[in-house]
Amino acid sequence: MTGLEPFGARLRRAMDERGPLCVGIDPHASLLAEWGLNDDVTGLERFSRTVVEAVADRVAVLKPQSAFFERFGSRGVAVMERTVQEARAAGALVVMDAKRGDIGSTMAAYAESFLHKDAPLFSDALTVSPYLGYGSLSPAVALARETGTGLFVLALTSNPEGGEVQHAIRADGRTVGATVLGHLAVENAGEEPLGSFGAVVGATLGDLSSYDLDMGGPILAPGIGAQGATAADLPAVFGGAVRNVVPNVSRGVLRHGPDAVALRDAAERFAEEIRAAVTPA
C-alpha cells in the first residue's frame, strides 16, 4: 500500500500556512434548526456542504463528528463520505471524530474503515480511545504508519467524567493520562517536523504543568468558544507544547451559518486569534 507523506508533516505545513485551527462539522439537530434546516438527510447534506464550501479551502483541519451522520443510517453515512471527499479535495485535512476503540481484528476493521486509502471514508486522521489498553490500538497505529495517516488518542479530555479514568493513579505512580502521553512520545520519537500520533487534550482543563504534553505530536484541543476557553488561554494550558496545538472550534464558527461569508469570516477570525496567541513574541 502506497502511503501519503506522513500526517504529522502535512499537518505542520497546513497549520503554518492556514493557521492552527480545526473546525468541527457537528450537525446537531438544534444547530440544523438554527440554520432553518429540517432535521433530516436533506438538512444534513445542506449543512455539511455549506461548511465545506465556506471554509475547506482555508482552514487547516475539518473534523466531522461521525455520530451526527450515523444517526440517519446509510443515507447519513453517504453524506459523510461526500463531506470527507469534498473537504480533502478542497485542501483541508480531515480528522474523523469517531473515537473508535476495540481489540484485535475489530480494531483493525475500524482502522481500515477510515485509514485505508481505498475506503470510502478515508480520512487523514482518526480519533481513537485507548481505554482497552494502549496496546489495543496497535492495528490502527500500524495502518496509520503504512498509509501516512494519523491518530488522535484520547488522553486528557474536557468532559468532567473523564477524570475518574484519566487522572487515576497506576501502580507505578503515574496517572493513566500521563501513561497515554508517554506511549505517544514513543510513537513520535525522531519524527520531524511533527509526529503523526497526537493526543486529545481539553483546552478548558487549566494548569496541566504536571503533565508532559511535549510528546512530539499534535494536540487536538477542544473547548475554544462555546465551552468557555479562549485563544488567549492556550499558552497557560499547554506551555511549551502550545505550538503543536490544533484548537477545535465547532459552535463558535457554525453558529454563524448558513451564511457562507459569515462562516468564513468567523473561521478566519479564530485562526488569526489562535495564531497570535501561540506565536512567540
Catalytic residue positions, numbered:
99
Q: Can you spell out the DSSP letters for the chain?
A: -PPPSPHHHHHHHHHHHH-S-EEEE---HHHHHHTT--SSHHHHHHHHHHHHHHHTTT-SEEEEBHHHHHTTTHHHHHHHHHHHHHHHHTT-EEEEEEEE---HHHHHHHHHHHHSTTSTT--SEEEE--TT-GGGGHHHHHHHHHHT-EEEEEEE-SSGGGHHHHTPBPTTS-BHHHHHHHHHHHHHTT-SS--SEEEEE-TTS---TTS---SSS-EEEE-BSTTSB-GGGHHHHHGGGGGGEEEEESHHHHTTTT-HHHHHHHHHHHHHHHHHHHS--
